C-alpha cells in the first residue's frame, strides 16, 4: 500500500518520508508530488498540505496530522465523513507546552522581567517576595496539552483550574464546564489558552473575557492566533486591565514586519514554537496506528468532524 506525505511547512520533508519508510517497511511511503507514484494512496501523513490534497489523492481513507490542531485541515475540499482524520496525541509537544507556560508564569510571578531591567541599570534591588496564591492560573482546554500544562503549574503549587467542554478535572485541579466560563475567569489571573480552534472558540480571547479576569492579569496564548481579538488585547494592555501577554501563535504567521506586537514591551512574541512535533515520537505513534488500522482495530485521536477537534 502507498502512503503519501504532504507538508508545505516542513523544512526537510525527506527526513520524515525516510523515517516513516523505516518504521513501515511493509508499505511504500512517497511524497505527494512523487512522479513515480504507482497507485493512489489510501493513507496520508500531513502538516499543512496543499489545498487540493483530496483531488490529487481521491482514494484517501485515513489522514494522519503531524500536529494536534486540525483547524487547517477541516476546510480542505473533499474532506468528508468517509475519511478518518487523526490528530497527533502529544508527540513530544505537551511537555514543551508546559515548559513554555512555566517560563512566562515564573517570569511574571518572580518579577524576572523587572530584575532584567534592574541589571541593565546595575541596580541591586530585591523586590517583594512571591505570593503564590496571588498567581492563580486558569487553563482553557483540558486535553492532552491542557492537562500537562495544568499538572506542571500545580506541581509548583500555583492555584490551577481548567476549563473544558465537559468540565472534567485533570491532574487534581478543579474543572469548570463550558457553561461555567464566568466562574472560571473570576478566579483566574494568568489565563492560558490551549483550546482547539473551532467555530465555538474563534475570537474567544476578547475584551469580554479579559474584563472578567482578576486584576493585573496576564495572557498566554499557545493555541491559535484566531482565538485572539488582537485589538482587544492592545486595548486591555493600554487600559491596564492586562499587565502583559506571551503569544506564540498569530492570526497571520509569520507575524508581519511592523505589526504592533513586535515592539510592545508588554508582549513577548515567539514564532509558533511552543510545542514542536518530535519526529521519532510522531513517526512511532503514526506507524503503530497505521498497523492497528490494518488489523481492523480502533485507534485513538480520531477527530470528530462535527465538533471540529
Which of 70/283 has CB closer to ligand NAP?
70
In the complex, minimum distance from the CB of residue 200 to ligand NAP, in angstroms, rounded to a whole number: 4
Which of 67/138 has CB closer to ligand GLV?
67
Interface with ligand GLV includes 225 (CB under 6 A)? no
Closest CA to 162 of 176, 152, 148, 172: 176
Q: Is 189 a catalytic residue?
A: no
In the complex, minimum distance from the CB of residue 269 to ligand GLV, in angstroms, rounded to a whole number: 16
Which of 28, 42, 110, 272 is the catalytic position? 272
Interface with ligand GLV includes 301 (CB under 6 A)? no
Which of 31/48 has CB closer to ligand GLV?
48
Which of 31/278 has CB closer to ligand NAP?
278
Please provide the DSSP assignment of the chain as one string: -EEEEEESS-S-HHHHHHHHHHH-TTSEEEETT-TT--S--SEEEEES--TTHHHH-TT--EEEESSS--TTTTT-TT--TTSEEE----TTHHHHHHHHHHHHHHHHHTTHHHHHHHHHTT-----PPP-GGG--EEEE--SHHHHHHHHHHHHTT--EEEE-SS---BTTB-EE-GGGHHHHHHT-SEEEE-----TTTTT-BSHHHHTTSPSSEEEEE-S-GGGB-HHHHHHHHHHTSEEEEEES--SSSSPPTT-HHHH-TTEEE--S-SSPPPHHHHHHHHHHHHHHHHTT---S-B--TTTT-
**Residues contacting ligand GLV: total by CB under 6 A:** 5
Q: Which stretch binds ligand GLV (CB under 6 A): 26-34, 65-73, 123-131, 173-181?
A: 65-73
Instruction: Enumerate residues 142-171 that contact ligand NAP by CB under 6 A.
Output: 142-146, 163-166, 168
Cell of 289: 496506528
Member of 17, 45, 46, 68 binding ligand GLV (CB under 6 A): 68
In the complex, minimum distance from the CB of residue 71 to ligand GLV, in angstroms, rounded to a whole number: 8
Q: Is 272 a catalytic residue?
A: yes
Interface with ligand NAP includes 201 (CB under 6 A)? yes
Map residues 55-84 to x or -, x wherever contact with ligand NAP holds by CB under 6 A.
-------------xx---------------
Closest CA to 191 of 173, 210, 172: 210
Interface with ligand GLV includes 69 (CB under 6 A)? yes
Which residues make Cβ contacts (< 8 Å) with residue 150, sequence separation at least 6? 137, 139, 142, 160, 161, 162, 170, 171, 173
In the complex, minimum distance from the CB of residue 227 to ligand GLV, in angstroms, rounded to a whole number: 12
Interface with ligand NAP includes 197 (CB under 6 A)? yes
**What residues are labeled active site?**
224, 272
> Which residues of the chain form contacts with ligand GLV (CB under 6 A)?
67-69, 93, 277
Contact footprint for ligand NAP (CB under 6 A): 68-69, 93, 141-146, 163-166, 168, 178, 194-198, 200-201, 222-224, 248-249, 272, 274-275, 309
Amino acid at each position: 500500500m502507498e502512503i503519501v506525505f504532504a507538508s508545505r511547512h516542513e523544512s526537510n520533508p525527506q527526513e520524515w518520508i525516510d523515517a516513516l519508510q523505516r518504521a513501515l517497511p511493509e508499505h511504500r511511503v512517497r511524497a505527494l508530488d512523487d512522479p513515480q507514484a504507482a497507485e493512489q494512496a489510501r493513507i496520508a501523513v500531513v502538516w499543512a498540505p496543499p489545498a487540493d490534497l483530496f483531488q490529487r489523492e481521491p482514494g484517501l481513507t485515513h489522514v494522519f496530522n503531524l500536529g494536534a490542531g486540525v483547524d487547517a485541515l477541516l476546510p480542505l475540499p473533499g474532506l468528508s465523513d468517509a475519511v478518518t482524520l487523526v490528530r497527533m496525541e502529544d508527540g513530544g509537544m505537551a511537555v514543551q507546552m508546559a515548559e513554555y507556560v512555566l517560563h512566562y508564569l515564573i517570569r511574571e510571578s518572580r518579577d524576572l522581567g523587572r530584575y532584567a531591567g534592574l541589571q541593565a541599570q546595575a541596580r541591586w534591588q530585591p523586590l517583594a517576595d512571591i505570593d503564590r496564591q496571588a498567581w492563580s492560573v486558569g487553563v482553557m482546554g483540558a486535553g492532552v496539552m491542557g492537562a500537562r500544562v495544568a499538572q506542571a503549574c500545580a506541581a509548583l503549587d500555583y492555584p490551577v483550574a481548567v476549563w473544558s467542554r465537559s468540565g472534567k478535572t485533570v491532574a487534581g485541579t478543579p474543572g469548570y464546564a463550558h457553561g461555567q466560563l464566568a466562574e472560571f475567569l473570576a478566579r483566574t489571573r494568568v489565563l492560558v489558552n490551549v483550546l482547539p480552534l473551532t467555530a465555538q472558540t474563534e475570537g474567544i480571547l476578547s475584551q469580554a473575557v479579559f474584563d472578567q479576569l482578576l486584576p493585573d492579569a496576564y495572557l498566554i496564548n499557545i493555541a491559535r492566533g484566531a482565538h485572539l481579538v488582537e485589538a482587544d488585547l492592545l486595548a486591555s494592555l493600554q487600559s491596564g486591565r492586562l499587565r502583559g501577554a506571551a503569544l506564540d501563535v498569530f492570526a497571520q504567521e509569520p507575524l508581519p514586519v511592523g505589526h504592533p506586537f513586535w515592539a510592545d514591551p508588554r508582549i513577548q512574541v515567539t514564532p509558533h514554537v511552543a510545542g514542536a512535533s518530535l519526529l521519532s515520537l510522531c513517526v512511532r505513534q503514526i506507524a503503530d496506528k497505521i498497523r492497528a488500522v490494518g488489523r481492523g482495530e480502533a485507534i485513538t485521536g480520531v477527530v470528530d468532524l462535527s465538533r471540529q477537534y
